[in-house]
Amino acid sequence: MEQLIIVVAALPLISALLIQLFAGRIGRSIARLSVAATTLSFFISLLLLWWALTGHEPQALPVGNTSAIMLFDPLSTLLAMIILGISLIVHIYSVRYMAEEAGYGRFFVLLDLMTAALLFMVIAGDLITLVIAWYLVGVLLYFLLGQDTRSQTAYRFAFWTLITYRIGDIPLILAAALLYNAYDTWSLTSIFNEIMANPGAHQVLGLPLPEVVAALIGLAAFARSAQFLLHNWLPYTMDGPTPVSALMHAGIVNAGGFLINRFAPVFVHSGDVLHIIFFVGLITAIFGSLLMLTQNDIKKALGYSTMGQMGFMIMECGIGAFSLAIYHMFAHGVFKGTLFLSAGGVIHHSRKDDGIPKDELYTFAVEKAPNKVHQPWLLMAAITLAVPLIILVLAHLLIAQDYFQKQGAIVLLFFGWVTGAQLIFATYRMRTQNIWRLVGLSVLSLVIVVLGYVVISHAFDLFLYPDPAFRVQLYSAATIDLLRFDVLVGVITLVVVSGWVLTYYAEQKGLRRRQQTKRLWLNFYALISREFYIIDIYTRLTRTLLGFSGRLNVWLRWL
């Protein structure tokens, strides 16, 4: 049964080969062949996932007489099912969507090859297969984004993506070379076993090998998952076909979270690297969420939304919640894929009639009008701050009594509290005569979401990392000094609460009407709308580098 994991990855590859060979004979039926192969592969992946859920032990499966190894384990079976599920939806959507586009057969060949590359990446049990699949994903994405060969914009930003991905390939290749040099094997299982048995056996430049490898893996994940300063390619790749955008945002960009999870035994011994990963993810989440709010293009807004979500996913890895990052990857993939595939229909419909009901939420969001009838401020402040905290604490106590002994869990609770409090705070500011009904609905939705989130994330934890001792090691690796941790949480809590208080005070006193305050907000909006001038800086650096190269060529008489 476990051998079927190889068949799952091979079917899309075979489909791509058959389409390339017989496209001239079968015509438009190539789409049926591609969809059929993906469907069969998807159902086999469901069978394998069920096999893993019933408790069958992970296995490393050699491929013939080659050095290639495929892994049958919870992570590979789960991600294979997710990839194929999203890919199947994209395949079905593309049958009609791409029908009038040039290169119909080429598109399905590339789509099948991309699916196969992603599958081989997640089931790879050796460093060579992993690096090759990781590299091919970037190359194939370049061709998919540039499907319309007549679009200069699509070609330009596809090239941006290719260059960024190549930057992320270098650290992974270096990590693979270091691991092979140290342990004289390409097998991931053998390498991880030796690292867990004796993490300090090897050093690189005086540093422990696990820390160096973890840092390189983190850099590779940053480039692939569009972390801050390596994110510019993501929101600008919207000129590619919509099915490609859906597959990219729902699956490909999640590869950073997968890579960190695959090398979890390395990160167990790399606490300092996890702290850096948490910080990078936090910055990315904040910047992505801010930039999303200022976009007037729906697909670009979805791109920055993905950047923010990838920041949260990487941040979850940084606090030791590796399985939670996988759950986040799954939930975000399904959600964002649906949004991208629906974006075109929404735009088309909105050009005729916006269709937005003029209800309380619409009026508040568009007119920014505060509630006419203000409830007692102290009462609403207490509800805003206390209710989400009580819900989160009770929900987690129902699942695990020792949950609050982990700093990572406290960080997640903190962000959940901020989000829930923000929801109720925004509800309080809405224009409505029945504020208690809105608050009640908000609290009810928060309870349902939190309970579902806690239960499902805990189930993912037990499935992906069934060894309790290993889970404890992951959280322990991400732990920082208790005093610094308490100070950090206290400061951030004070900033959040102060922000809400100042917002309320400003609205009550009308301070936003003052010219100086307006100018300050306009300057801040200009900074965000220009995306913090990061692209301008990169453009200037590119021109400077090209100018220097030109002068160097003239000086050396190479031209």
Query: Tell me: the pLDDT tens digits for 500-515?
Result: 566 666 655 555 455 5
Query: Tell me: the pLDDT tens digits for 226-236?
Result: 998 888 888 88
How confident is residue 219, by pLDDT bands cut at 50, 70 and 90?
Answer: very high
Decide which of 355, 380, 414 is a domain's last residue: 355
Q: Say whether both 349 and 484 belong to one domain.
A: no
10 Å CB burial of residue 352 (0-12, 13-18, 19+) is exposed
Decide which of 320, 355, 390 is a domain's last residue: 355
144 found inside a domain:
no
Query: Tell me: the pLDDT tens digits for 316-349?
Result: 898 888 988 898 888 888 888 888 888 766 665 6
Cα–Cα dist 555/524, whole Å? 44
> Percent of the chain, pLDDT > 70?
74
Q: At what angle do helices 30-53 and 4-26 cross, to 10 degrees?
A: 170
Q: Say whether both 294 and 388 belong to one domain.
A: no
What total number of domains does the chain contain? 2
- Give the residue-averaged pLDDT of 542-552: 87
> What range defines the domain where residue 289 resides?
182-190+197-355
Query: Tell me: the pLDDT tens digits for 482-491?
Result: 666 667 767 7
> Percent of the chain, pLDDT > 90?
36
Please tell me the number of Cα atoms within 13 Å of 381 on its side-chain side.
13
User: Across 186-195, 233-242, 335-344, 422-431, which has the greatest mean pLDDT?
Assistant: 186-195
Cα–Cα dist 253/223, whole Å? 9
Q: Say whether both 278 and 249 belong to one domain.
A: yes
- Give the residue-averaged pLDDT of 116-125: 96
Beta bridge partners of 207: 204
Query: Tell me: the pLDDT tens digits for 342-388?
Result: 876 666 566 565 555 555 544 544 444 444 555 555 555 666 666 66
Q: Say whether both 443 and 395 belong to one domain.
A: yes
Decide which of 302, 320, 355 is a domain's last residue: 355
How confident is residue 129, by pLDDT bands cut at 50, 70 and 90?
Answer: very high
Q: Say whether both 209 and 342 belong to one domain.
A: yes
Closest CA relative to residue 172, chosen from 93, 263, 234, 241:
263
In the prediction, which pLDDT does 350 show? 62
How confident is residue 437, by pLDDT bands cut at 50, 70 and 90?
Answer: low
- Give the residue-averaged pLDDT of 152-175: 90
In the prediction, which pLDDT does 117 show? 96
Q: What are residue 433's phi and psi, to 5 degrees?
A: -90, -15
- Give the residue-averaged pLDDT of 198-209: 90
Residues 312 and 228 sit within 8 Å (Cβ to Cβ): no
pLDDT of 517 over the 70 cut: no
- Give the residue-averaged pLDDT of 30-55: 94
Q: Say whether both 421 and 303 belong to one domain.
A: no
Cα–Cα dist 177/185, whole Å? 10
DSSP 8-class letter at 355: -
- For every residue of 270-313, DSSP letters joined together read -HHHHHHHHHHHHHHHHHHHHHHTT--SHHHHHHHHHHHHHHHH
10 Å CB burial of residue 288 (0-12, 13-18, 19+) is buried
**Element containing residue 411 per DSSP (H, E):** helix 407-429
- For every residue of 69-99, DSSP letters joined together read EEEESHHHHHHHHHHHHHHHHHHHHHHHHTT
- Give the residue-averaged pLDDT of 43-49: 95
Mean pLDDT of the chain: 81
pLDDT of 434 over the 90 cut: no
19 found inside a domain:
no
159 found inside a domain:
no
Q: Say whether both 287 and 379 belong to one domain.
A: no
289 found inside a domain:
yes
Amino acid at the residue 164:
T
350 found inside a domain:
yes
In the prediction, which pLDDT does 93 show? 92
How confident is residue 280, by pLDDT bands cut at 50, 70 and 90?
Answer: very high
Q: Say whether both 360 and 478 belong to one domain.
A: yes
Q: Say whether both 374 and 326 belong to one domain.
A: no
Q: Say whether both 367 and 311 belong to one domain.
A: no
Polymer length in residues for the chain: 559
35 found inside a domain:
no
221 found inside a domain:
yes
Considering only CA atoms, give the Rg of the chain. Answer: 25
- For every residue of 169-200, DSSP letters joined together read HHHHHHHHHHHHHHHS--BHHHHHHHHHH-TT
Residues 255 and 225 sit within 8 Å (Cβ to Cβ): yes
Cα–Cα dist 18/31, whole Å? 11
Q: Say whether both 412 and 481 belong to one domain.
A: yes
In the prediction, which pLDDT does 365 show? 46
Q: H helices of 124-231, where?
A: 127-145, 152-183, 188-197, 209-224
In the prediction, which pLDDT does 447 show? 67
Cβ contacts of residue 120 below 8 Å, gap of 6+?
9, 129, 132, 133
How confident is residue 459, by pLDDT bands cut at 50, 70 and 90?
Answer: confident
Q: Say whether both 336 and 272 belong to one domain.
A: yes
Can you read off the two tokens belonging to residue 385? 């701050």
266 found inside a domain:
yes
